[in-house]
Amino acid sequence: MTLAARAAAILTTPEAAQKSLATRWFVYLCEQEGIDPVACFRQRLGAYFPKGPKPPFNAEARLKAGQTPGSYDWKSTFSESA
């Protein structure tokens, strides 16, 4: 295993755990306020990244963390010319 692969493996586990915890709290707080979590996340992130996050995305890890593709994959929202 290369050094880069070992480093990625070490960093991925805590990042996934943090992403999972943050996602659960965000969804919980949105539900308490009666807010759609995906729409809220996209609105807040859109203030900094108007065209959405740039791929590639680790869809499997994000799904395990509780994130749906609609919250991070905005390709269907923006036209190719935008």
Is 74 within 8 Å of 52 (Cβ atoms)?
Answer: yes
Please give the mean pLDDT across all residues of the chain.
Answer: 76
pLDDT digits (tens, 9 = 90+) for 11-31: 566 667 777 788 888 889 999
Residue 13 has a pLDDT of 65
Looking at residue 79, what is its pLDDT? 37
> Across residues 22-41, what is the average pLDDT?
90
Of the candidate ranges 17-21, 59-63, 74-78, the one whose mean pLDDT is the lowest:
74-78
C-alpha 12/C-alpha 16 separation (Å) is 6
Question: Exposed, middle or buried by CB within 10 Å (0-12, 13-18, 19+), for 10?
Answer: exposed
Provide the residue ranges of all domains of the chain, joining segments of one domain with +: 3-72
